[in-house]
Amino acid sequence: THFGYETVTESVKQERVAGVFTSVAESYDKMNDLMSLGVHRLWKDHFVSSLNPGATNPIGMPQRILDVAGGTGDIAFRMLQHAHVNNGNPNVHVTISDINPAMLAVGKQRSLSLPASHQSSLSFLEANAEVLPSSIEDNSLDLYTVSFGIRNFSNIPAALKEAHRVLKPGGVFACMEFSKVDKYPIFNAIYKQWSFSAIPLIGQLVAGDRDSYQYLVESIERFPSQDDFRDMIAEAGFAIVGKGYEDLTGGVAAIHKGIKP
Ligand code: SAM
């Protein structure tokens, strides 16, 4: 049946993704710097400051955040830093969830060098974004983030529905993901050249793993355009503000946001 076919391809994709991230976990952070020439750090800083975690009204109110596909912790650590230091709000809790125990293990190890007050505001959860555990209750979160994770999901609409389920009314869904550079043909040509030639080569030389990085590049190519992804977020029941997304570096990446009505 059609349904049967979809189930098979989804589980094949999930296994493939598990293999890729188990294999890249140790080299993941170094590879991000090399592949993006360090730019991913600026995007992540911008993503987190645009969300302004810890800015509650009145100041100091509790805030619950779930960072899905949080991997080695880049977004979660920045959110805690922003909440504690920029907004003086230690009452923010961030859960890093990821389907892959190897990525979470690297995240846990890295979190040990955070200040103790940040560590106590952090927890880890092994979970598939498409079927979050019932311990994450309906209408329980203020903010749901997913950064460079969603294109790996087998069933993106299911993950968006789960995001909608767990957010409180008024809660924010925020996603940063690689996107399309179609508006700038010359830059796009250079970017494509870099993606398809340099990234698998760097993967081979630095991580000894050409195939995983080839997969990552292809998954970027297959991910929907800014407008199409915005429409999927709306389809899941989120309210969209303005055009619904912000391009980063000409659309190499984009930040999409939706609000649960
Ligand atoms: N958010 C981190 C960042 O921005 O650096 C890590 C992104 S990493 C490229 C993608 C992560 O998505 C991996 O850690 C992978 O295990 C996770 N992932 C893939 N499929 C998933 C799923 N269905 N549910 C939860 N996490 C998933």
Residue-wise pLDDT for 60-103, tens only, equals 999 999 999 999 999 999 999 999 999 999 999 999 999 999 99
Q: Examine residue 58 and say whether the peptide bond preceding it is cis (omega within 30 degrees of 0).
A: yes
Q: Whose CA is nearest to atom 10 of ligand 1?
A: 149
Q: Is the CB of 103 under 6 A from ligand 1?
A: yes
The ipTM, to two decimals, is 0.99
Quick one: average pLDDT of 137-160? 97
Name the residue among 83, 96, 260 with its Cα closest to residue 172: 260
Among the ranges given (15-24, 81-90, 135-144, 173-182), the one the predictor scored with the smallest mean pLDDT: 15-24
Q: What percentage of residues in the chain have a pLDDT greater than 90?
A: 81
Task: Classify burial at 196, counting beta carbons within 10 Å of its beta carbon; exposed 0-12, middle 13-18, buried 19 or more.
Answer: middle
- Residue 6 confidence (pLDDT) above 60: no
What does the pLDDT read at residue 3?
A: 42
Q: Dump pLDDT digits (tens) for 27-62.
A: 878 888 888 889 999 999 999 999 999 999 998 999
pLDDT at position 75: 98
- 8 Å CB contact between 206 and 220: no
In tens, the pLDDT along 216-255 reads 899 999 999 999 999 999 999 999 999 999 999 999 999 9
* pTM of this structure: 0.94
Pocket test for ligand 1, best of 11, 15, 17 (most atoms within 8 A of CB): 17
How many whole angstroms from 231 Cα to the centroid of ligand 1?
A: 22
Residue 5 has pLDDT above 80, yes or no: no
Q: Which atom of ligand 1 is nearest to the CA of 70?
A: 1
Number of domains the chain is built from: 1
The residue whose C-alpha atom lies closest to atom 16 belonging to ligand 1 is: 100
pLDDT of residue 254: 98
CA of 161 to the centre of ligand 1 (A): 17
Average pLDDT, whole number, for the chain? 93
Residue 216 CA, closest ligand 1 atom number? 9
Domain range for 141 is 2-259
Q: What is the pLDDT of residues 189-224, one digit of tens each?
A: 999 999 999 999 988 998 888 998 899 899 999 999
pLDDT class of 1 with cuts at 50, 70, 90: very low
For the Cβ of 73 lying below 6 angstroms from any atom of ligand 1, the answer is no
Calculate how far, in angstroms, residue 57's C-alpha sits from the geometric centre of ligand 1: 31
pLDDT exceeds 80 at position 142: yes
Q: Determine which residue's CA is closest to atom 18 belonging to ligand 1.
A: 69
Q: Name the strands in the sheet holding 141-147, side by side, starting at the edge strand that comes first in the sequence.
A: 122-126, 92-98, 63-68, 141-147, 167-178, 253-259, 245-248
- β-bridge mates for residue 63, sequence order: 92
Q: Where are the beta strands (DSSP E) in the chain?
A: 63-68, 92-98, 122-126, 141-147, 167-178, 245-248, 253-259
Domain with residue 208: its CATH number is 3.40.50.150
